[in-house]
Structure 1
């Protein structure tokens, strides 16, 4: 499947509003939640808008809980370039801990990041102000 097709199908599963539909999408994804996360993070640089992050440099760490355990991914923004992938970074500016379904809802704009944080669906550590700026550096898939 092409990345755009993946995101269109994901958005449809999320738009249904049903937790069961979203979980079925995740489990039915070729390779499961881990493969879906790999696709998401591999495609992030394509959604990056360097003009919105002009002069900014930061590393972001994601700790995403899937049905097979916690998966770690990073996003690095420096000099107008975005890198993303599996793994960890030293001294991230922000670390987000979240369950996979909530992460996917955040990614597609189905839930608001601040609301998710205030309701405990997302845990953040580090520079909270930067976390709010960071999401504006990317288009929603």
Structure 2
């Protein structure tokens, strides 16, 4: 009986360590109420100046618009991909467009960055 209990504990620990990584592996964000949000419920944006699967938001720009960073070994699927940033780190992209959050969004559902300078846009569900 003791062996079964130890095996069960080992299984639970393995699941606890593995499942969170799997949850973010393929889809780092989701659609909620017609717009894309990260797993904390924060609004996700694209930047019109990005093109060709490359982020042009670096330095001070990235301080205001934090890139949605992809973990090492991320395994994107479907419309999800990863791109390499200028600093060599990986960032999530959706349908070829790098993704960001906005530092002035303070709580889930905030969209303070939508249409900022006519180049930042909330990612909306295509119907």
The TM-score bracket by the shorter chain reads under 0.3
The structure having more radius of gyration, on CA atoms, is 2
TM-score by length of 1: 0.24
Q: Which has the higher helix share?
A: 1
Q: Which has the higher strand share?
A: 1
TM-score by length of 2: 0.26
Between the two structures, name the one with larger relative contact order (CA 8 Å, sep ≥ 6): 2
